[in-house]
A and B are shown apart, each in its own frame.
Chain A
Amino acid sequence: MTRYIANRIAQAALLLVGVSAITFLLLYVLPADPVRQIAGRSATPETVETIRKQLGLDLPFHQQYGRYLAALVQGDLGRSYAQKTEVAEIVGARLPATLLLMLAAIVCELAIGVAIGIFGAVRQGSRSDTGVMVLSFIGVSTPQFVAGILMLYVFAVRLDWFPVGGYGEFRHLVLPALTLGLLGAGWYARMMRSSMIEVLTHDYVRTARAKGASETRVILLHALRNALLPIIPMIGIDIGLFMSGSVVVESVFGWPGIGQLAWQAIQQVDIPIIMGVTIVAAVAIVLGNLLADLVAPFIDPRIRIH
């Protein structure tokens, strides 16, 4: 087990070097010149070159990247070009909001998705099954912007149950989490439904039924655990996705997450922030998947880590 984790972490470190190198290279070959952005439109060519030297952006690619990597291993993500403050501080300030929304969104997705999936599987082929599957399809294909604005209009403006966007209290969290949850639940519902249908054909389910267990008991106690297995890696992927931010939902609800930060940094060619967010997201994806792998054996003891 310990060896397995050590192995995975070593793999992750390699992956991070790869991700950072590729992102750094992409930003390097971009025609947009960050120094022009910093020096402003009134700067003389001499000023531009002075600043370029100061930032080490006159160096060849391998030296620039080498410097970045050397700082990175010491935990130094550099300073933002536009804000001048430490990237670690800027990204760190947005982590709590991102984590909170991620957690709440995944809980919503799971609760809604798993329930709908079981419902569909049990009533497989019925009209209500088709109904909820169509709904889940609509869910996954609705643009976040449309859904978010609709939620705000109905629940914040018309019904006045929640504030129109913001951050800080539980009432601010409900609508963005529900929006992400409702839209994402579709994936879980479809996966849950097919997985449950498959599990229900197994011998041990028939045995359970033959013993006279109630249908509810059969489903929730015997089948659910196995049916949940394919859901676990999906959560792992979602952790990674949400950690890199959900730009649209964050802007609709004024949620100070990482997505907005990344979006604005891209507009401003603020390379240190773009790099910082990419690395945080990559770490999150690796951790999310690792977590999913580690959790799986607890749900199905037949799975062994080696």
Chain B
Amino acid sequence: MAAGLLIDDDLGLIESVQRAAAAAKLDLATATTWDEGLGLFHVLSPNVVIADYNMPGSQHGLLLLARIRRLRPSVRLVLISGFLEESDMERVRALNLVDRTLTKGSVLESARVVVDEVRQAQEASLAPTDWREVADAAVAAAEIPEADLTELDQILSRKADERSRNKAR
């Protein structure tokens, strides 16, 4: 199955990603909404999911990532946001929900990081399931504090909503 799954609502970006993935022989599937991304996750069970925080969908942000984490604890999750501040990302990391966050920094660097993640995921996908690793990840996922997750999601959602409103002004 696909080694990686990238979820981003920017269609122009997705086209560039698909073109780059084909050229660089990256086993990377793409989705433009959270709902589509979740559906593809069910089918393709990629080893790494790279998602932009602020996207439309029936449910967005941390709660959806938490859902993916619980479904398959050993998956690698990378959260991208050009909008959330570093202090927000620190709080996300403190939850032990995602494996990596990308905020500011060069877009070239971001692209390189994603390419590296997908290449690593490709290698990992050739190996059989390491059940010890899966078990460790399942225990860690169960320890993510639900209340903290919900609170942080609400705070970040409010910021995202305010940004969307002001984008339209």
Partners in one complex: no
Residues of A in contact with B (beta carbons under 8 Å apart): none
Residues of B in contact with A (beta carbons under 8 Å apart): none
